[in-house]
Amino acid sequence: MFTGLVSDVGVVAAVADHPGGLRRIRIHSSYDPASIALGASIACAGPCLTVVAVGPREGGGAWFEVDAAAETLDRTTAGDWAPGARLNLERSLRIGDELGGHIVTGHIDGVAEILAREDLTVREGLWGPSARFTISAPRALARFIAPKGSVALDGTSLTVNTVEEDTFSVLLIPHTLAVTTWGERRAGDRLNLEVDLMARYVARLAEAKDA
């Protein structure tokens, strides 16, 4: 489980394809290598991936490797990752950690697309710009997205502002733009989308009641 609170931005260092549709991805991060166990789960731009190798980086931080199976490559943006790509990272939630975002599983429901970015005027007392993003969700997932509800986009827990059919908007504060990959996001970018877990269960219960 995760919270959607990004704890580091990693950089893809290498990508190698293996038999059976498996792709091994090496990621550089600022994490302490001693704190990453083999088999640990790390959310990488949203998808929960398992650490299969880890080691220290010269100068500090860690490199770790994860394997992405064919389904992950097909259903997420992981198939597009190449050396140099920057990824929001989050370590798995531990008992006692603060649940500051919302419950995120790391199981991606689909890929959304940014339709527009609006940079908002800096107001007095605000230490940086905010930005509003208008995003298109896959039609089958739009029913799970509600105003003031939660979504996870590229592993970031965000509050939905407005919803119109299969389009919704989110507002990013200066801090989030600065410490995640959102600062570099533009129209046309694809995002890993995980809808709110509770919304999924409520919809399933409603379907069962009507059956």
Q: What is the DSSP letter of 188?
A: T
User: Which residues is 141 bridged to in the sheet?
Assistant: none
Q: What is the pLDDT of residues 139-171, one digit of tens each?
A: 999 999 999 999 999 999 999 999 999 999 999
Does residue 195 have a pLDDT over 60? yes
Does residue 127 have a pLDDT over 70? no
Does residue 126 have a pLDDT over 90? no
Confidence at 211, pLDDT banded by 50, 70, 90: low
Does residue 124 have a pLDDT over 60? no
Q: Are 88 and 76 in contact (CB under 8 A)?
A: no
Share of the chain above pLDDT 70, in %: 91
**Residue found by looking up tokens 């429901």 in the block:** 109
- In this predicted structure, which of 24-28, 102-106, 136-140, 168-172 has the lowest mean pLDDT? 102-106
Q: What is the model's pLDDT at position 123?
A: 60
Same topology for domains 8-91 and 110-210, yes or no? yes
Q: What is the model's pLDDT at position 200?
A: 73
Does residue 96 have a pLDDT over 70? no
Q: Are 43 and 62 in contact (CB under 8 A)?
A: no
**What top-level class would CATH report for the domain 8-91?**
mainly beta
Q: Which numeric CATH code is attached to 110-210?
A: 2.40.30.20
What integer is the mean pLDDT of 106-118?
Answer: 97
**Burial of 153 (C-beta count, 10 Å sphere; 0-12/13-18/19+):** buried
Give CA–CA dist 193/142, Å, rounded: 11
Q: What is the DSSP letter of 152?
A: E
Domains of the chain, residue spans: 8-91, 110-210
Give CA–CA dist 6/88, Å, rounded: 6
Q: Are 170 and 152 in contact (CB under 8 A)?
A: no
Q: What is the pLDDT of residues 180-193, one digit of tens each?
A: 999 999 999 999 99
> Token pair for residue 193?
């989308």
Predicted TM-score (pTM) above 0.95: no
